Structure 1
Amino acid sequence: MGDITLSQIADAMIRFVESCWEMLVEMAPYMCLGFFMAGLLHIFVNPRMIIKYLGKGRIKSVFYAAILGIPLPLCSCGVLPTVAGLKRQGANDGASMSFMIATPETGADSIAVTYALLDPLMTIFRPVAAFFTAVVAGLTQNFVGKTYDESEKNIQLDLSCKIDNCCDGINCPPEKHRHHHTLWEKLKACLRFGFGEILDDISKWLVLGIAIAGAINIMVPESFMRTYLDGGVHSMLIMLVVGIPFYICATSSTPIAAALILKGVSPGAALVFLLAGPATNAATISVVYGLFKKRAAIIYLSSIAVCAILMGLLLDKVYAGFNISASSVAGTAGEIIPHWIAAITAVILLVLIINSYVKQIRNKRAGIVGCGCGHENNTLEASPASACGCGHDHPKPVVDIKPMASACGCGHDHSPLLVPDNPDAGTCDMEGEHGHAHKNEPGHCGCGHKH
């Protein structure tokens, strides 16, 4: 009996790992696209524009975010790094949530597939329903999620150079500074931000979500939907329960909805699946909780659930009112990305995630305090007034100023990064310039030594 139990456990573990890997393969190309887009937005988009359209105003920012998200071809996981990047550049929570819902629920590619596999009415109604859901969730977050004044006070414009921190962006505004670096330098900075800082932000929640989704995939029978989804309001509720935790993108969910309609599921129930499935999954929910915290996660899920059912009921009424039969074309959409490319991308993403964990563990063991943005290790920038764009305040320099590096007689600390390796170089005799640098640059503190 013990051997059988161990065998069953081993089999379950193997199926769990396979399920997680399959999900990672599906997600990886779109996640990488999302990381890259987050980097592009960070490097090439002026922070003032993010604040202007997505950071200010309880209402208009939500509408702008929904309009911006509708045509973008990003899935629920691919949109996560993009949202994290927008949020760190000043987009308020309501606008971020609106963008996070509108983008995966529909897109230029999924609209085309919907037209190909379903009828024109569904093709029009789907993006409209996605826009409505995104706006409702965003407005609810801005008015109920947390006080809007508190949200605006936390917005800090990061005008410093996002490529190599060569200037603070004040004496050299972004409009002029962007011409200082080559396109290749900007692209490298884009990759560093998207696949570095943003990945570090969400890697923990992403891995947790993939693990949960993998467990769900091996526990829920494949025949579940076919057995119980026979049309009606209860089908919408089941579609909601099934669609929320599972990972499926807007494009790949369309042929499933078409097949369900052919089997007798109402178009409204199919719409619920098309809205809830792409917008949510276990990975997305865990990341939403990490980015926005508990109340916002509840608003996110409840808004999608309520709006999806309301839109589904309305769609059934429209079909019945116009006496239109929910037609669909047989066949499924082919894979847009070849499997071998997706697998290679998954391996790359897995390596990056492992590297992110290793880096965080090393920093923790080394006693490095900070968010990992890189500025907290710079004594000139690690201050309460720091606004490097990482979204975290740096209350004190992380690199301690050694006492031996501060005794030239002027009373000011020297940067340990510029102190010579000579252990006797901590003091000077006030004669000439010893080459030590002081924290309070530029200028002189009066000791006669250069800063």
Structure 2
Amino acid sequence: MDLLINFWQLFLLSAPWLMLGLFIAGLLNVYLPADFLNKHLGKEGFWTTVKAALIGAPMPLCSCGVIPAAIGLRRAGASKSATTAFLVSTPETGVDSVSVSYVLLGPFMAIMRPIAAICSAITAGMLVGKDSQQYTVKSSSSAISGCAAKRKPEPLRSCETDSPALTSAQSTSSCCATAEQTVTSSCGDVEHSPAKVISCCDAKHADKATETAMAKMSRAISFSCNKLLEDTMVWLMIGLFFAALVQTYVPASYLSQWGSGIIAMLVVILISIPMYICATASTPIAAGLLLSGVSPGAVLVFMLAGPATNIATLGVVGNELGKRAVIAYLTGVIGMALVFGFLTDYLVAEFGFVVAPLLGDEHQVLPHWLSVLTGLLLAMLILRLVFKKLANTGKSIA
């Protein structure tokens, strides 16, 4: 009974902040232009890496969701360093995980976490980028890059051109259709800039430009309550259960004998590598570790290494960026996690920063009725997704 009570208390405590993070994440997903990432991440270098880390940090993607996004970025022309920085910073932190970190771990960890994640992403990105300059590695995007290397893009000054590819198409298609056909052709003789083509098709896409604010808000809420929540709810429940389990059955002094220092940090790294967990779901697990006596530095190491070093992510790094990039990736992520772990323990010991769940101060953060209301709403949304998944499973079996 104590286990269920502690689980429900943690669930209610996390619900308002998680709902807020989901809502903000939905707004980012809808209002951020679709071509924004590809436009700013195409070059190799330090500032591109920094930009990718900053863009990925608040993104509403978990360990599972960032993988296809990173593959899309890489195959769309993003550099190795930018792809790596995005792949690290996106699952390590986010608007939802920062808000949950504030209430479960305190304001100090809510500040340290995104700073450490961004620095970790920049370091890993630069190491992978440096490795790509020294070695020629085979990636799964080589076919696309080889296709583009066969010819140089020609500017499209207007929808009328002397190109044979367009001349033959103009007799049966409109300006907009002709431009689209040219862009989507594979390894053809002519390639035009998508930005130039869009200028010919303003009328076709006018419906997107005139989308109402209500429609955008509806899309944002739909994304948050469906795709994003579905990606996070399983590990979120597991994390809350683990935190409640530790709080109920593990004495605070049990892990204190190895709860600080390099040994504790290495242990949590070994535990986190096979795990498949996102930043938000790792937070209640981290709170449970903190309650059991693990040091704040080791807890931060877990929150950084857990989302960024799972087996699936490492496989993507090897396939898309090269086998050598895996070593550089792990070196950057684990190395910076250890650095910030020691820095966190030092700052806590030296300046007395408080790192503790705000369990006793929940009435001072949010009113109890709001926690209960958002908790019930979150529970209904999760149950809805569970029943929907079960129904789809039953249909597929039938």
Q: Name the TM tier (shorter chain).
A: 0.5 to 0.7
Structure 1's 134 and 328: CA in aligned 2 closer, same or farther, altered over 3 A? Answer: same
Structure 1's 288 and 149: CA in aligned 2 closer, same or farther, altered over 3 A? Answer: closer
1:118 matched to which residue of 2? 105
Structure 1's 44 and 106: CA in aligned 2 closer, same or farther, altered over 3 A? Answer: closer
1:145 matched to which residue of 2? 132
2:55 matched to which residue of 1? 68
Given the alignment of the two structures, is residue 252 of structure 1 paired with residue 252 of structure 2, yes or no? Answer: no
1:356-384 C-alpha deviation (Å, 9 max, x unpaired): xxxxxxxxxxxxxxxxxxxxxxxxxxxxx
1:60-116 C-alpha deviation (Å, 9 max, x unpaired): 110110010111121111111111111111110110000010011000111111111
- The 5 Å alignment of 1:229-378 reads 230-233=258-261, 234-330=263-359, 338-341=382-385, 344=388
User: Could you tell me which amino acid in structure 2 is paired with residue 341 of structure 1?
Assistant: L
User: Could you tell me which amino acid in structure 2 is paired with residue 106 of structure 1?
Assistant: T
CA distance in 2, matches of 1:84, 1:307: 24
Residue 139 of structure 1: how far off its partner (Å): 0.6
CA distance in 1, matches of 2:339, 2:177: 44
Q: Is the CA contact (8 Å cut-off) linking 2:127 and 2:329 kept in structure 1?
A: no
Q: Secondary structure at the match of 1:170?
A: coil
Q: Secondary structure at the match of 1:91?
A: coil
Q: Secondary structure at the match of 1:259?
A: helix
Structure in which a larger fraction of residues adopt helix: 2
Structure 1's 56 and 287: CA in aligned 2 closer, same or farther, altered over 3 A? Answer: closer
2:71 aligns with one of 74, 78, 84? 84
Q: Secondary structure at the match of 1:247?
A: coil
2:38 matched to which residue of 1? 50
User: Could you tell me which amino acid in structure 1 is paired with residue 204 of structure 2?
Assistant: H
Residue 299 of structure 1: how far off its partner (Å): 1.5
CA distance in 1, matches of 2:177, 2:63: 27
CA distance in 2, matches of 1:294, 1:137: 14
Residue 58 of structure 1: how far off its partner (Å): 1.4
1:134-187 C-alpha deviation (Å, 9 max, x unpaired): 000001111123449999x9494989999994343638813404525347899x
CA distance in 1, matches of 2:79, 2:391: 34
CA distance in 2, matches of 1:300, 1:278: 13
2:192 matched to which residue of 1? 170
Scaled by the length of structure 1, the TM-score of the pair is 0.53
Q: Is the CA contact (8 Å cut-off) linking 1:58 and 1:143 kept in structure 2?
A: no
Residue 260 of structure 1: how far off its partner (Å): 1.4
- The 5 Å alignment of 1:142-221 reads 142-147=129-134, 154=145, 156=148, 165-168=180-183, 170=192, 173-182=196-205
Q: Secondary structure at the match of 2:85?
A: helix
**Structure 2 portions without partners, runs of 5+:** 1-21, 157-175, 184-190, 210-244, 363-370
CA distance in 2, matches of 1:141, 1:307: 14
Residue 326 of structure 1: how far off its partner (Å): 2.2
Q: Is the CA contact (8 Å cut-off) linking 1:97 and 1:300 kept in structure 2?
A: yes
Q: Is the CA contact (8 Å cut-off) linking 1:276 and 1:308 kept in structure 2?
A: yes
* Percent identity for Structure 1 against Structure 2: 36
CA distance in 1, matches of 2:277, 2:193: 47
Given the alignment of the two structures, is residue 59 of structure 1 paired with residue 88 of structure 2, yes or no? Answer: no
Q: Is the CA contact (8 Å cut-off) linking 1:117 and 1:254 kept in structure 2?
A: yes
- The 5 Å alignment of 1:30-41 reads none
Q: Secondary structure at the match of 1:83?
A: helix
CA distance in 2, matches of 1:263, 1:114: 17
User: Could you tell me which amino acid in structure 1 is paired with residue 346 of structure 2?
Assistant: K
Q: Secondary structure at the match of 2:181?
A: coil
Given the alignment of the two structures, is residue 108 of structure 1 paired with residue 137 of structure 2, yes or no? Answer: no
1:281-304 C-alpha deviation (Å, 9 max, x unpaired): 222222222222211122212211
1:185-224 C-alpha deviation (Å, 9 max, x unpaired): 99xxxxxxxxxxxxxxxxxxxxxxxxxxxxxxxxxxx99x
Q: Is the CA contact (8 Å cut-off) linking 2:104 and 2:357 kept in structure 1?
A: yes
CA distance in 1, matches of 2:283, 2:118: 18
CA distance in 1, matches of 2:136, 2:277: 36
Q: Is the CA contact (8 Å cut-off) linking 2:108 and 2:353 kept in structure 1?
A: no
User: Could you tell me which amino acid in structure 2 is paired with residue 258 of structure 1?
Assistant: A
Higher relative contact order (CA 8 A, sep 6+): 2
Residue 130 of structure 1: how far off its partner (Å): 0.2
User: Could you tell me which amino acid in structure 2 is paired with residue 105 of structure 1?
Assistant: E
1:27-55 C-alpha deviation (Å, 9 max, x unpaired): xxx9xx99xx7x999x9417xx735x212
Q: Secondary structure at the match of 2:204?
A: coil
Q: How many residues align structurally?
A: 279
Q: Secondary structure at the match of 1:246?
A: coil
CA distance in 1, matches of 2:179, 2:89: 33
User: Could you tell me which amino acid in structure 2 is paired with residue 174 of structure 1?
Assistant: V
Given the alignment of the two structures, is residue 128 of structure 1 paired with residue 151 of structure 2, yes or no? Answer: no
